[in-house]
Amino acid sequence: MRVALEESGKLALGLLGALVLALALSALSVPGAAHSPRAFALAALARLLAFLRLDFGTSRITDLPAVDMLASHVPVTATLIALGALVSVALGAPLGLLFGSGGLRRVAAPIVQIVSAAPVFVAGLAVAYAANRFLGWPPGAGPFPGPGELLHPDAQALRRVVLPALTVGFAGTAAIHVALRRAAAGEQDQPYRESLRRLGLSALEIDRVYVAPVILAGLFSSLGEVVVAFIASAVVSEWVFRCPGAADLFVKSVALGDWNMAGLILFLFCALSLVIAFIGRLLGGAILRAESQA
């Protein structure tokens, strides 16, 4: 209970910080705010009062309410991250567990480095090139399918979604893999592993009962970092594959000086990362507590 309260406090402070960051950016959209610190402070205060009235302003590019803009773009990003997460869990978790411990860990280290040395945009372009060359898929064009279409996708919708989701998935796989390997590295040379074997337990039993929960808890505790990797890869993936998502909107907003929109999207991403990190830490803690009471 005490841990949950502490973590909730940390989350609240983190969200407050993200809100301050968003307010500061949003204030820049007020004319004249950049002229003096006083003008900036007054603009930030005005934005805060507006936020409290749930008035999140308008987009400078389209003149539409910022919330509406966000609502129309977020589903694309959410779809990419969700599908990418599926790919990552399917690939990253087994690979991380396979290459994360024992001798294979050392063997895999250089391979992991080589594979993950490619930035996401290079990986995205490579995926697009391979799909075009070997499957004959044209470069991304056309509207991004909505949730309804995704449940019963046609070939066009599938082509539109698979490549960006795969790119996000590969980046997420690398992040999950690194988190698992880091957690496994902490348990790698623990003296109890050898002692328990000499006391009579098999290596498999020790790994299954005592090592695996710690690695899993480590992965959950690193969920915040994994989510950050997903968001960063979504930014690149939406750009490369021309997907009209929130990340793509963020890049365009900053490029065109639409600071109100950029501030809102940054707050959304920070809040997502903070909340997932909070849940991850709670779950990680719960796993360790369950192990201690087993």
Q: Which of residues 188-247 bind another protein (CB under 8 A)?
A: 190-192, 194-202, 205-206, 209-210, 214, 224-225, 228-229, 231-232, 235-236, 239-240
**Gap between the terminal Cα atoms of the chain:** 19
Number of residues engaging another protein in binding (CB under 8 A): 80
Query: Of 83-91, 119-127, 141-149, 158-166, which part binds another protein (CB under 8 A)?
Result: 119-127
Residue closer to another protein, measured from CB, 152 or 198 = 198
CA distance 104 to 184: 12
- To the nearest whole angstrom, how small is the minimum distance from the Cβ of residue 147 to another protein? 25
- To the nearest whole angstrom, how small is the minimum distance from the Cβ of residue 207 to another protein? 11
Q: Which of 49, 86, 90, 107 binds another protein (CB under 8 A)?
A: 107
Q: Which of 8, 9, 17, 36 binds another protein (CB under 8 A)?
A: 17
Burial of 54 (0-12, 13-18, 19+ CB in 10 A): exposed
- The verdict on 136 binding another protein (CB under 8 A) reads no
Q: Which of 37, 110, 136, 147 binds another protein (CB under 8 A)?
A: 110
CA distance 175 to 113: 12
In this structure, how many other beta carbons lie within 10 angstroms of the beta carbon of residue 72? 14
Q: Chain centroid to CA 260: how far?
A: 22
Tell me if 263 sits within 8 A of 24, measured CB to CB. Answer: yes
CA distance 273 to 294: 31
Burial 90-100 (b: 16+ CB within 10 A, else e): ebbbebbbebb
Single out the residue of 68, 87, 111 nearest to residue 230, CA to CA. Answer: 87
- To the nearest whole angstrom, how small is the minimum distance from the Cβ of residue 152 to another protein? 30
Which residues does residue 65 pair with via DSSP β-bridges, in sequence order? 58
162: Cβ–Cβ under 8 A, 6 or more apart, which residues? none
Q: Which of residues 144-163 bind another protein (CB under 8 A)?
A: none
Residue closer to another protein, measured from CB, 21 or 67 = 21
Q: Which of 89, 121, 158, 279 binds another protein (CB under 8 A)?
A: 121
Query: Of 53-61, 70-78, 89-97, 124-132, which part binds another protein (CB under 8 A)?
Result: 124-132
| Site track for another protein across 60-99, x = CB under 8 A | ----------------------------------------
- To the nearest whole angstrom, how small is the minimum distance from the Cβ of residue 133 to another protein? 8
